[in-house]
């Protein structure tokens, strides 16, 4: 008797990103942004990473674009009286950020767009860059590399580990 085939194979339930892949995609993002800043020869004034997910791409962008002035903004999703909202946990240096002009604000992905919407209100002149984007939040991003469907969950390498899996035909 053959085992019935599930609608989706295990690897199709999410988009699993390796370290190599995030490195390549973040480099592609850097190359797309290079020379498009408002400074002399298209330079950018600095980078602000949205923690925590934005820190890995921000580090790769900083290396490729030779940017050494980097700050962070901490944004956390929270639930309060069954209404979900966002809370800014730490603010970057206001003298560095100003209105955001010349600053690249970097995150790993945009999903609903709520995180970027909030940060955009704070720094309206910044350039918003993410490595991955889902359709709902795409309007909030100025530059991104890869779009995935809204029902795809992106798994990042810092949230995963290599582990043994049963052969496909051996599974329940
Ligand atoms: O477009 P949105 O629907 O707002 O979602 C995108 C945000 O959600 C994730 O961060 P999360 O708040 O899970 O925190 P983390 O970066 O610390 O993992 C991701 O890194 C983005 O920052
Ligand atoms: O698809 C996702 N993957 C990881 N973190 C996320 N936060 C919002 N959407 C996602
Ligand atoms: Mg995040």
Q: Give per-residue pLDDT as tens, 131-147.
A: 999 999 999 999 999 99
Q: Give per-residue pLDDT as tens, 5-54.
A: 556 555 566 999 999 999 999 999 999 999 999 999 999 999 999 999 99
Question: Is 162 marked as a binding-site residue?
Answer: no
Q: Are 110 and 138 in contact (CB under 8 A)?
A: yes
What local confidence, expressed as pLDDT, does residue 101 receive?
98
Distance CA 30, CA 58 (A): 9
Question: Is 114 marked as a binding-site residue?
Answer: yes
What is the ipTM metric for this complex?
0.99
Catalytic-residue membership of 79:
no
What local confidence, expressed as pLDDT, does residue 77 receive?
79
Ligand 2 centroid–CA 42 distance in Å is 31
Q: Are strands 103-110 and 127-133 parallel, antiparallel or unpaired?
A: parallel
User: Which of the two residues, 30 and 166, has the higher pLDDT score?
Assistant: 30
What local confidence, expressed as pLDDT, does residue 89 receive?
94
User: Which of the two residues, 69 and 168, has the higher pLDDT score?
Assistant: 69
For the CA of 111, the nearest ligand: 1
* pTM of the predicted model as reported, rounded to 2 decimal places: 0.91
Q: Give per-residue pLDDT as tens, 68-109.
A: 999 999 998 766 555 568 999 999 999 999 999 999 999 999
* Beta-carbon neighbours within 5 Å of ion ligand 3: 53
Give the CATH architecture of domain 16-161: 3-Layer(aba) Sandwich (3.40)
Catalytic-residue membership of 66:
no
> Ligand 2 pocket test: which of 21, 138, 154, 160 has the largest number of ligand atoms within 8 Å of its C-beta?
154
Ligand 2 centroid–CA 140 distance in Å is 16
Instruction: Look up tokens 């600053």; give the residue.
Output: 103
Among residues 20, 25, 95, 108, the one annotated as catalytic is: 108
Question: Is 19 marked as a binding-site residue?
Answer: no
> Which DSSP string do the residues of 8-71 spell out, in sequence order?
S-GGGSEEEPPHHHHHHHHHHHHHHHTT-SSSGGG--SEEEEEETTTHHHHHHHHHHHT---EE
């Amino acid at each position: 008797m053959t085992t019935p085939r599930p609608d989706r194979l295990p690897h199709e339930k999410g988009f699993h990103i390796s370290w190599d892949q995030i490195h390549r995609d973040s480099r592609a993002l850097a190359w797309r942004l290079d020379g498009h800043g408002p400074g002399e020869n298209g330079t950018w004034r600095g980078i602000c990473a949205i923690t925590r997910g934005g820190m890995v791409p921000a580090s790769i962008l900083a290396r490729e674009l030779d940017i050494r002035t980097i700050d962070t903004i901490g944004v956390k999703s929270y639930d309060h009286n069954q209404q979900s909202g966002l809370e800014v946990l730490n603010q970057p240096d206001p003298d560095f950020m100003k209105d955001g002009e010349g600053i690249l604000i970097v995150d790993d992905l945009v999903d609903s767009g709520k995180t970027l919407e909030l940060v955009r209100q704070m720094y309206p002149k910044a350039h918003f860059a993410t490595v991955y984007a889902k359709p709902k939040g795409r309007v909030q991003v100025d530059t991104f590399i890869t779009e995935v469907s809204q029902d795809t969950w992106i798994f990042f390498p810092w949230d995963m580990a290599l582990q043994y899996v049963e052969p496909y035909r051996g599974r329940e």
